[in-house]
């Protein structure tokens, strides 16, 4: 699954980190968006539904919750990336938003 995520990211997917701002500040994937889980509902107003996104957190729990929320609201190309540091030295691409 890790290689699939890397290919998805390489093809332009956003990486959204749903940890707290403090956790994000301590370390994150370069180019990733910091959208804490408690702000994911607000972010749906400006995220583009057609743009693939890989959601990450510390362990995969919060990212799983965010994936369920986004998919329930019409976001289809959403993937649970699990722990942010499990993706290694990968770098996110651009940041297309509304």
What is the pLDDT, as a whole number, of residue 3?
Answer: 55
Q: Are strands 33-34 and 53-57 parallel, antiparallel or unpaired?
A: unpaired
Burial class (CB in 10 A: 0-12, 13-18, 19+), 34: middle
Tens digits of residue pLDDT in 27-80:
999 889 999 999 999 999 999 999 999 999 999 999 999 999 999 999 999 999
More confident residue, 91 or 55: 55
Domain topology for 2-84 = Oxidized Rhodanese; domain 1 (3.40.250)
What is the pLDDT, as a whole number, of residue 93?
Answer: 62
């Amino acid at each position: 699954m890790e290689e699939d995520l890397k290919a998805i990211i390489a093809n332009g997917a956003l990486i959204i980190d749903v940890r707290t701002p403090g956790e994000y500040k301590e370390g994150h994937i370069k180019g990733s968006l910091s959208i804490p889980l408690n702000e994911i509902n607000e972010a749906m107003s400006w995220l583009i539904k057609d743009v693939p996104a890989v959601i990450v957190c510390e362990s995969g729990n919060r990212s799983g919750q965010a994936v369920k929320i986004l998919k329930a609201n019409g976001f289809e190309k959403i993937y649970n990336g699990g722990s942010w540091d499990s993706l290694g030295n990968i770098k996110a691409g651009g940041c297309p938003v509304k």
